[in-house]
Amino acid sequence: MDTTLQDPLVGQLLDGRYRVDARIAVGGMATVYRAVDTRLDRVLALKVMHPSLAADASFVERFIREAKSVARLAHPNVVQVFDQGTDGSYVYLAMEYVAGCTLRDVLRERGALQPRAALDILEPVLAALGAAHRAGFVHRDMKPENVLIGDDGRVKVADFGLVRSVDSVTSTTGAVLGTVSYLAPEQIEQGTTDARADVYACGVVLHEMLTGGKPHEGDSPAIILYKHLHEDVPPPSTAVPGLPYELDELVASATARTPAVRPHDAVELLARVRRARGALGEEQLDALPPQARFTEHDNAEDRTSVIPRSLTVPRPLPVDEDAQAPGDGVHRTSRFAAEPPPPPRRRSGPPRRGLVALLTAVLLVLGVGAGVWYINSGQFTKVPAVLTQTQARAEERLEAAGLEVGGIEHEYSDTVERGTVISTDPEPGSRIRKNDAVSLVVSDGPETVKVPYLKGTRLAQAKAQLKEDGLEPGLVTQAFSEDVAKGAVISSDPEAGTERRAGTAVSLVVSKGSPVDVPDVTGDDLADARAELEEAGLKVKVATERINSEYDKGSVAAQSPGADRQLAEGDTVTLTLSKGPEMVEVPDVVGASVDDATKLLEESGFEVEEDRGLLGLFGDTVKSQSVEAGEMAPKGSTVTITIR
């Protein structure tokens, strides 16, 4: 059964702009819908906070913080936020709609992925998180559900609802924020997070992509949390024999239980991922995971013909002299220890006849083999791994490998440090003749541009100017202004003249024009009320339903917004007309005591006045009432009782 049919928002127009077409997903904090922006005629996603949480200021603040944080990123691998607003009890974000699926959907359907596919997904995820980390934010809830894969192959990171400043300390007393399978030990034990918590989660996600399963399983969340605190994430190759040790090393460094041992942010982890990819061959990158291999074989003999790397004697991970973490002064070491090879067995007994002839033949073969080796391989080498290294260091390694340094190009990069290598041609690990040339592309760091002066510029023109200058329009809010025309820009954040990276989102405040005081038209005839509001520069809408009120039938019983509000010129005031007062039957109170009569009349909805005169100063019995018992009178009207 389609549960979206029971969703009250489906089919509605939210905030007079967003037509809700279908429910996409439901979370603990919000529901996501596919919707259409009727102004711009584009499909988008609406993230609507559950109404039960909208009254909680902390939840609303987190919701709005997500909008502002993501709007500042404006990264191609981050789901963009277009708008944020409220409509009655609904608080919403209008976001980019990504047609496709989540990484969780892929893993659920396919299980383990090929190394190339896993790295193809991980790299844009790290690029997005790297931009967030360098902008001062931590995601705090990285998991496959928050990695969206579009039908066009684009990878985007979603759900920055738990985002925090890198410098903030978040207490998790009473509740652990995030998902238990991806929480870093320090999040669990100390309740603190920084960029390295996202690095840890990405390491767990990489392990899951390579193996098809989470590294720590348990019957309860408490067991999983305990394992994160006390057990290392196992190497992927223990679950999928034959995976290269470079991938084991990536997972080991990203998921180190001590934060200081991990890459300090997603940018550094991305550099290590690229370096590992460059060290892998095509066959290693495209190796099928076990379940894919088995689908191609029909019998046990074929399956056992694939000889996996031994699980009992893991190979040592290499120590790369250039993989030193910034500022730590030590080399990264592996968690794996190598066992020494067994000594060669010696043959017992006297030498056989013909040994001299045999040795001669062996030497002859070796001599011929050396010649063949030189012809086929001796004149070739591999392009060394120089990505993320300084230009000078890269040139030294190329020369040491017997290669020439070809052309050097420069490009801007948001993720690769200025002066270090972005890419090579041919790529690292490629087979190349000695003395051939390798071209380098060196980073100039992030491209920076100045925020233009936009005050007084119409919104559409301001957005076009930002894009022309290499920036992105961000969140748009409105405010009253006495000196800036309606629809023009009042200010920007960052301010004009501020230098920012190219692609940074700039938030704009747009003028609603001069404020208009809303006049009080309750009790007025509809025609008079409409004329007064329109004269003030406001539009009028009449509600379809009418209500009982003290005012005459057809008069204005209520208005929204009320008379104590300010609106912009052209805004709308909704008028609700009166059905007249509600008529109520007057009870009989003659002969009753004053207190009983008053109570009975007030419970029926009437006001009560007493008429004692001179004779009733000390009396306590009702002798008459101004409206006869059984007659109908307007609710709220006054009934006078005479006391004698």
Long-range contacts formed by 314-321: CB under 8 A, 24+ apart? 314/235, 314/237, 314/238, 314/338, 315/245, 317/245, 317/248, 317/249, 317/252, 318/245, 318/249, 320/275, 320/385
194 is annotated as an active-site residue: no
d(CA 56, CA 194) in angstroms, rounded, equals 26
Report the C-alpha dihedral over residues 222, 226, 231, 237, rounded to 10 degrees: 10
Give the chain's radius of gyration (CA, Å).
Answer: 37
Residue 181: CB atoms within 10 A of its CB come to 21
Q: What share of the chain is helix, strand, coil (3-state, %, to 5)?
A: 30, 25, 45
Q: Residue 577: in which H helix or E strand, if any?
A: strand 572-577
Please give the distance of CA 272 from its chain centroid, rounded to a whole number.
24
Say how many C-beta atoms besides its own lie within 10 A of residue 287's C-beta.
18
Number of other CB atoms surrounding residue 230 within 10 Å: 9
Residue appearing with tokens 């008529």: 583
Neighbours of 146 (CB within 10 A): 24
Among 141, 159, 198, 265, the active-site one is 141
CA dihedral 185, 191, 193, 197 (to 10 degrees): 20
As a whole number of angstroms, the distance between CA 180 and CA 188 comes to: 9
Please enumerate in sequence order all residues whose Cβ is within 8 A of that of 326, keeping only pairs 6 or more positions apart, or say none.
Answer: 264, 268
3-state secondary structure 403-430: CEEEEEEEECCCCCCCCEEEEEECCCCC
Strand partners, 431: 382
Helices (H) and strands (E) in the chain, counts: 17, 31
Helix (H, G, I), strand (E, B) or coil at 291: helix
- Which stretch of DSSP H or E encloses residue 73? helix 57-73
Phi, psi of 276 (to 5 degrees): -65, -40
As a whole number of angstroms, the distance between CA 138 and CA 135 comes to 9
DSSP assignments along 428-477, one per residue: TT-EEETT-EEEEEEE--S-EEEPPP-TT-BHHHHHHHHHHTT-EEEEEE
**In angstroms, rounded to a whole number, what is the distance separating the alpha carbons of residues 210 and 234?**
12
Catalytic positions are 141
